[in-house]
Amino acid sequence: MLSPRLFFLVPGRLDTRTGGYEYDRRMIAGLRARAWTVEVRELDTSFPHPSERALACADALLAAIEDDALVVIDGLAAGAMPTEIERHASRLRIVPLVHALLASEVGLDRETANKLEASERRALAYAAHVIAVGPSLIAPLGRYGVPSSRIAVVEPGTDAAPLARGSRHTGILHFVTVATLNRGKGHHVLFDALAKIPDGWRLTCAGSTTRQPETTSQLKSQLSALQLTERVTLAGELDAQAIAALYDSADLFVLPTLSETHPLSVAEALARGLPLVCTTVGAIPDLVGSGDDAAALLVGPGNVDALAAALTRVLTDTACLGRLANGARRVRARLRTWDASGRECAEALARIAVNPR
């Protein structure tokens, strides 16, 4: 019996170090571990704002795939190539993998957001099925005309990890955030909040400083204006070993994100038993637990004063920080694994492969 086979299309390099690409890599690995043959094709890096050349190359790539093949396309590209998907949808089983709706990116002007929404609506209308990385996408996809019967939700997992040892009683709490420096991650909100809190902390921000260089420049100027440059480190993109060491040195994980579906970094922090201060977006409230199990103080996205108050509390109330750490250890014990995610992805794609379009 031949192993099931699919093509997996990603914009740019698959080894790009963001949560979305990590998810893609894990799904590909999970499928291969279950005897799927997965052929990866890397598209032009200009998606989700592709050039004509990029679209022509994507169209040629789809044209070269044999009829009735299963084709998973990362949503960053799928939503931006509706004409190409429409052209090949009658003979291929095209499955966009949606991390977030393109028009939901923070900072887009209205005209660009409207164009992206129209483009993604068209692309999704011709998809055989859709994989969504979190249940919070079901309602927005429904508004785009995708019924829940055509959506398979496959949430991310995380790896088991040792408990973080923290800064080991240096008298200065080490705050850590792991996120690409872009407008949607809310670093500017965090920096404004930090300027309002007492001393006794330092912050390390891990994440690419080159994907949105204009945002990085603005954030550096903000740190200088707030006189925080000596206390905040923009560490840039770190490899897996350096990220693990960073988590190990942390006393608190902070994620001030303004828009998110299912941030991998929150689960990674929980896997190390770290207490958190986060925003109430996407899957974060479900991830961090509640009541006696709560691992985080949650604040509304963009609320500088609420974020400052939460950070002040963990700085000045050691009992609160201890309760959150205990909650994180309880949540840690029930975190979802990448193996479970890979199994669910394989099962969803197997159902799509045998069902008629």
146 plus 263 within the same structural domain: no
97 plus 215 within the same structural domain: no
79 plus 92 within the same structural domain: yes
Euclidean distance between CA atoms 124 and 119, whole angstroms: 9
Tokens linked to 17: 């170090």
- Give the pLDDT score at 226: 98
Q: Are 141 and 132 in contact (CB under 8 A)?
A: yes
Q: What is the DSSP string of 182-215?
A: SGGG-HHHHHHHHTTS-SSEEEEEES-SSSSHHH
Residue 323 three-state SS: helix
Residue 165 lies in a domain: no
Residue 275 lies in a domain: yes
- Give the pLDDT score at 132: 97
47 plus 123 within the same structural domain: yes
29 plus 14 within the same structural domain: yes
Residue 83 lies in a domain: yes
Helix axes 19-33, 264-271, angle to 10 degrees: 70
Domain range for residue 22?
5-157+337-354
Q: Which residues contact 351 (CB under 8 A, 6 or more apart)?
A: 152
145 plus 20 within the same structural domain: yes
Per-residue pLDDT of the chain (357 residues; tens, 9 = 90+): 568 999 999 999 999 988 999 999 999 999 999 999 999 999 998 899 999 999 999 999 999 999 999 999 999 999 999 999 999 999 999 999 999 999 999 989 999 999 999 999 999 999 989 999 999 999 999 999 999 999 999 999 999 999 999 997 678 999 999 999 999 999 999 999 999 999 999 999 999 999 999 999 999 999 999 999 999 999 999 999 999 999 999 999 999 999 998 899 999 999 999 999 999 999 999 999 988 889 999 999 999 999 999 999 999 999 999 999 999 999 999 999 999 999 999 999 999 888 755
Q: Are 308 and 197 in contact (CB under 8 A)?
A: yes
Model-level pTM? 0.93
120 plus 19 within the same structural domain: yes
128 plus 262 within the same structural domain: no
For the chain, report the end-to-end CA distance as a whole number of angstroms. Answer: 23
- Give the pLDDT score at 357: 53
Residue 40 lies in a domain: yes
177 plus 145 within the same structural domain: no
Q: Which residues of 134-158 are buried (b: 16+ CB within 10 A; e: fewer)?
A: bbbbeebbeebebeeebbbbbbbbb
Pairing mode, strands 173-178 and 252-255: parallel
Residue 181 three-state SS: coil
Q: How many domains does the chain have?
A: 2
70 plus 114 within the same structural domain: yes
145 plus 263 within the same structural domain: no
319 plus 342 within the same structural domain: no
Q: Which residues contact 7 (CB under 8 A, 6 or more apart)?
A: 38, 39, 40, 41, 65, 69, 70, 71, 72
> What CATH number does the domain containing 281 carry?
3.40.50.2000
Q: CA-CA distances (angstroms) from residue 21 to 9, 28, 214, 352?
A: 11, 10, 22, 22
Residue 86 three-state SS: helix
